[in-house]
Structures are given as structure tokens and as C-alpha cells.
A and B are shown apart, each in its own frame.
Chain A
């Protein structure tokens, strides 16, 4: 009797230890960034794990830089455009790939998947030429184009999987009601695909928001940079000084929107991801 009690207690303890380890492992870097960002520069290199006093000077320093605020705006524009374009193209492609029977459908799907396997570096120089030819260098358009290339395969795959799960009879009912394919897609399928769209849209947003390599390569001036590059290029008074405080403050500022978005769409994402997983 007592032995089973003991065993249960030990198991429970072990379980919570694992949970705590996981949570600390996942959140500690960000937590430390928050703590550091709230310290005045004089205390920057004193190791401390708790927030003793709140000092906003780092935030003020970052937000008073015009270029940084501009880079946030750039990031928002680029990420939202990528999400909008990826969802629009993804939905229409998913309708074709998930609903219309045609020859070579599987091959197209494989091709889409194959495209997403290229490492970024492999296409970097080629893409650079494309962007030069299209006259999109050093403009948000170039970033939107290149991010869309990398988010589309994922978007198409996930949305196609969801689209296939919707019952055929629903589409047929819409056809009987006289709906065109576009009306069927927007009025019947889209409302049912919201969880999937929230999931893929959010992941596309995160990818675009965090992307560094393309953003560094395809932009030149401060006014066109996105947030990750802007943070990396924050520099101190001399080349021997790294302004940790402002960097940490900037990191927190750009992470917060993502955290809020994820919290808002949390439920949808979970239902979206699992619904996609059970039947593919």
C-alpha cells in the first residue's frame, strides 16, 4: 500500500521535474534577454537572475533610433504581404491539388515539396540575379518575393491536406446551388479552413519575420532593412563595444508580437496541426 503510494509520488515528482527542465530550457534565453534589457548599462555585466529594478533606458535608446522603428515597419509590411500572398496562392493551389482530379497531380505535389528542400544558400546567388533583373533590389518587394518562394510549398501542402479532408458532397452541394469554383472556395471552403489558414499563415509570418540571410543580402540601406538585420547591425560607440542593453531590448520588442500572435491563435494552431496530422 505505502509502496504504491511512494511509487506514485516519485513518478509525479519525476514528471514535474521533467516539465520544469523543459520549460527552463525553452524559455531561459528569452527570459535572460528580458532581464538584461531592463538593467541600466552600468549593471549590464553583473550576473543576476531576477528583475530587481526596472530601467527603461535601453528601450528608449532603441526606439529613439529612427532606422530601427523603420525596420519594424518594414518587417510588418514584408511579413503581412508574405502571409497574404502565400495564403491566396496556397488556397487556390490547394483547391486545384486537393479537389480537382488531373493527371500528374501527385507529381506536382512532389515537385512542390522538392522545391522546399533547397537550402537557402543554394539559391541565394541565383535569386540575387532574379531580384536584380526584376529591379527589386533593396526594396521590400525583393524580400516578399523570396520569402514567398520558401513559404509557399509548406502552405500548399498543409492546405491541400486540409482541403482533401472536406467531404466531396459539400462541394457538390455548392455546385448544385449554382456556385462557381471561386464562390465555392471563398464562401464554402474558406470558412471551414480557418484553423488551417491561421496555422499556415502564422508560420509563414514567423518565417518571414525571423528571416535573416535574404534580408541581409537583398537590402542595402537602413531604410529598407528588416528587424533581424537591424538588430544584428546595432553597433556601439566603437568597434570594441557591443551595446548589449539596446540589442536585448530590441530582441524583446520584436519577439513580443510573435508571442501575442501565437497566444491569440494558440487553440486554432493546435486544432489545425492535429487535424492535419491524423489524416493525410
Chain B
């Protein structure tokens, strides 16, 4: 069991910086998820920790040991691959025993460890089968079994669920969560699926173009995104953004003039330097309520999506993109209606022109 420390870690392929001076600390037993759009470097970062790629600059510490030059096995890490990468010619038992045998364990202890692992993952009945005779979920479990059989201090998952269908994905997600509870090992998990990130993580690391955008608990990321990028990446349907200008701010409230919705008063103060400059207001779909139009500020409803438990209402605005509202399933709003929009101002976020969040006065105090 061990913690992981990254200190100004960089990775270059030729002249491209794939990972640019990333510093991060992962506590012992923590479940950390790397998310980001494709090409953001999340898989590369994982492979740097695994030891499959060499680190160009910076230090990687596991426990209190610098491990930059150590092999994966010496680092005490186990990895689950996206395509599972099971050895096709070996049975489930042999797949899980391969690493143990190479570690020069005695054959009794190999058998014991494999049996124990199989019991944890409910693979006991499948030990003699070849991978091709297994279903996707079973292969996934074998891949996990192979990674945990050697009892590594740190488990790495590289988009492990992306090859599974939706229902199996939910099931395996829960199994991974349960596994983490049972083993208590440190887990680093890479995904592009923010639902996986939100549901599994103790701590989410949002990566963008090789650097960290924000690190925090799922709640922090959802409720206090540090940048427009994080705000738009976390949450589905994603956050609405409205252009405008900051008119005034004091300790208790901020007035902004929005191009589409006119003046809005937010019940919190921000940095006074923002006054007079262009800002972006971000509002999540569930905090934007359409009501039947009464006054002049009316918008046309483009589409209503019925999802069973709720409806998504898409509203045409003057902004580049239409606005999304999340409403009760039994809404009376229909396509082509005209509506006006109510913002839950306490839940609105403000971003400056560089996309950085304007910190609320209450939060910084």
C-alpha cells in the first residue's frame, strides 16, 4: 500500500509536450480518476506511473522512493488494459498465475493466491477456460484478477469499461467500487466517461492538453469548477454558457448584463477587478427553468426530449449554441412554444475572459 507523488513530471515525444510539468499527490488507498477529452494525455500519464513510458523530466515517487528508473514490477503496480490483453493461449488460471510464477513464487502459494483472487472476483468456475470462451464482463474480471493477483500496492486502470455495453458497464463499475473497498489499494483510473469518474472517484483529476485543469472531489468539480473547461466537461447535458458584461460587484451581490437575458443579479460577490470586463455566465441545465412566456423576453423551444424521469428542453437563444434546460417529466412545455427563462442565480458560475472561474467572495474568505 502506498501513496504516489508526481513532481513536475513531463513527457515529450520529440518536440511535443504530451505531459507538461504535472504535479499531483495521490494518498494511500485513494481512488483517483483521470478524465479529459481524447488526446489530453491522461493515458500517457497513467503509463508514466506504470513504467511503460519513460519520464522525460520530473520525479515520480511511490511511497517515499523515487521510482523513475524502476521497472513496472519493481514499482509494485498492476494494470488493467482497455482491450484486457489477456494471453489468448493460456487458461484463466494461467493468465492470473503468469506474473506470480515469474515472481518466483512457490507453486503452492501461486495456487493459493490465484484461488483467492478468483474467489474475490467470482471466477472460480471459469479457471480452466480460455479467454475466447469468456464473455466481455468475464474477460474484464480476469484482467482485473491478473492485475491484483500479485497484490500490487497500486492498481492502474486504462479505460477498462469502454469495450463493454452500457448495462454491463454499470455492473462492472459497481464491482470495481466494491473491489476497491475490499482491497483498500490505491487506484488510478483513466476514463473519458465523466459518469464513471463521478461515480467511482474519491478525487478527480481533469486533464487538458497535458496539464491539470483541476483536482478535486466529484462534488467540488461539479459545484465549483475552476474553469470553463472543467465546467463544460463535467455534467451531462453540459453547462450552458451566456456571454455578458460584469456591471458591479460588492460583498453580497454581483450584477451582470447578459446579451440574451438582460440584467441578472447573483447573490455573491467576486473580485472587483472584473467590473466592466466581459464575462461568461455558466448555468447547469437543472438550474435554468423555462416558464411560459409572459413578457417580451421570449425564446422559442426547438425541441423537447422526453427521458422518462425528466425532460430536456432545448431553447433557441441569441448565443451561438442553444440553451438546455432540465425539467420535470410532466412538463407542459412543447416544441415551438415560446418561453422565458429563470436562472437559479445562487447556482450560476462566472468565468472571466480567459475561461477561469471568478472565485466567490464567500469561498475565498
Contacts and interface: CB of A to CB of B under 8 A. Distances in A.
B102 A173 contact: no
Nearest to B158: A169
Interface of A: 167, 169-170, 172-179, 183, 187-188, 191-192
A173 B87 CA distance: 9
Contacts of A176: 50, 52, 72-73, 77-79, 99, 147
Contacts of B150: 177-178
Given A176-B73, A177-B99, A167 B85 contact: yes
A241 B88 CA distance: 60
A173 B73 CA distance: 11
B81 interface: yes
B71 interface: yes
B81 A192 contact: no
B146 interface: yes
Given A173-B79, A177-B73, A178-B71, 10 more contacts: A167-B83, A167-B85, A170-B85, A173-B86, A173-B146, A174-B87, A176-B52, A176-B72, A176-B73, A177-B146
A172 to B, nearest CB: 5
B322 interface: no
A101 to B, nearest CB: 11
A173 B81 contact: yes
A174 B150 CA distance: 13
A173 B96 CA distance: 11
Interface in B45-96: 50-52, 71-73, 77-79, 81-83, 85-89
Given A169-B81, A172-B52, A192 B146 contact: no
Contacts of A191: 89
B39 interface: no
Contacts of B71: 175, 178
Nearest to A188: B87
21 contacts: A167-B83, A169-B81, A170-B85, A172-B85, A173-B79, A173-B87, A173-B146, A174-B87, A176-B50, A176-B72, A176-B73, A176-B77, A176-B99, A177-B73, A177-B146, A177-B150, A178-B99, A178-B102, A188-B87, A192-B88, A192-B89
Nearest to A171: B85
Nearest to B97: A177
B85 A178 contact: no
Given A178-B71, A178-B73, A188-B87, A172 B102 contact: no
B85 A177 contact: no
Nearest to B75: A176
Contacts of A167: 83, 85
A177 B98 contact: yes
A175 B83 contact: no
A172 B72 CA distance: 10
A177 B102 contact: yes
B286 to A, nearest CB: 39
Nearest to A178: B73
A183 B85 CA distance: 16
Interface of B: 50-52, 71-73, 77-79, 81-83, 85-89, 98-99, 102-103, 146-147, 150
Nearest to B77: A176
Contacts of A179: 98, 102
Nearest to A169: B85
A173 B85 contact: yes
B155 to A, nearest CB: 11
Contact of B72 (A169, A170, A178): A178
Q: Among A176, A178, A192, which residue has the most Cβ atoms of chain B within 10 A?
A: A176
A163 B159 CA distance: 25
A169 B73 contact: no
Contacts of B147: 176
Contacts of A192: 88-89
B57 to A, nearest CB: 21
Contacts of A187: 98
A191 B71 CA distance: 25
Nearest to A175: B72
B64 to A, nearest CB: 23
B83 to A, nearest CB: 5
Nearest to B89: A191
Contacts of A178: 71-73, 99, 102-103, 150
Nearest to A183: B102
Contacts of B102: 177-179, 183
Given A176-B72, A177-B73, A170 B99 contact: no
Nearest to A168: B85
B145 to A, nearest CB: 12
Contacts of B85: 167, 169-170, 172-173
Contacts of A183: 102
3 pairs of A and B residues whose beta carbons are closest in the complex: A178-B73, A177-B99, A169-B85
B46 to A, nearest CB: 11
Contacts of B103: 178
Contacts of A188: 87
Contacts of A175: 51-52, 71-72
Nearest to A194: B89
A162 to B, nearest CB: 14
A187 B85 CA distance: 14
A90 B185 CA distance: 43
A170 B50 CA distance: 15
Nearest to B81: A169
Contacts of B78: 176
A177 B147 CA distance: 8
A102 to B, nearest CB: 15
